[in-house]
Amino acid sequence: MILKDREFNHSKDAFHEAMNIPSYLRTKCRERIFFTSFSNALQRAELFEDEDDAPKEMCTVTGDLQRCLKMITDPLEYEYTLLTFYGHQRMAMEAYGKYKYLKSNDKSKEDKLKLSIINLIEELRSKDDDDDQEEDEIDNITVNTAIKRISIVKDSIYNFDTYLKLLSKKLSSRKDDDFNVDDFLKDIFD
């Protein structure tokens, strides 16, 4: 139990910083949760005509958790993932539900208008929350930015390392000299 003996810095506002968790590790753990949750949902839809026929490990929170934990070898990542899993997995499933709805042909004009209003309100709310700070979509997690990750999971052909590289290319607003995916991955694997 690494976190049990970890010295916390209670003067920090960010949860991971207060726990002395590096930002790259926080990002990797969070993105692994999104990746496994979306992978299970997408593969369930691709492999089964009736999603109810899919095995339970592809349909449940515990199935997503099990798949996620099997990918981890570092004890600190394991514990931090356990600590943050449920919130990110819930957001992933909310985003997947919205994604499926957007892709479906069962929307009336009234539903489309409601969805447009909801999206506008979410955008306005996230702009207010940013307090004029420019933030990468990688770190600005909303249902809408989570939906963007779904196509990245598909494009990665369900490979987590490829997913991380594509994520940094597609969602990072940092200039290339500010963020280098190879350096990011090197930090992760050290």
- For 21, 30, 85, 134, 150, the CA distances from 158, given in Å and listed in that order, are 27, 16, 19, 30, 11
Contact 88, 34 (CB under 8 A): yes
pTM of the model: 0.80
Mean pLDDT of 155-172: 93
- From residue 80, alpha-carbon distances to 11, 16, 99, 150 in Å are 20, 9, 28, 23
Helix (H, G, I), strand (E, B) or coil at 125: helix
Segment 57-61 mean pLDDT: 96
Q: Which residues touch 6 (CB under 8 Å, ≥6 apart)?
A: 19, 20
The answer to whether the CB of 31 falls within 8 A of the CB of 167 is yes
* pLDDT, tens digit (0-9, with 9 covering 90-100), for 120-137: 777 777 666 555 444 566
pLDDT at 105: 75
* Mean pLDDT over the full length of the chain: 85
Lowest-confidence range among 16-20, 27-31, 32-36, 124-128?
124-128
The more confident residue out of 152 and 174 is: 152
- Confidence class for position 10, pLDDT limits 50, 70, 90: very high
121-142 exposure pattern, b = at least 16 Cβ within 10 A, e = fewer = eeeeebeeeeeeeeeebbebbb
AA identity, residue 61: V
- The mean pLDDT of 142-163, rounded to a whole number, is 94
Residue 88 banded pLDDT, cuts 50, 70, 90: very high
Query: pLDDT tens-digit profile of 67-85?
Result: 999 999 999 999 999 999 9
CA 93, CA 146: separation in Å to the nearest integer?
9
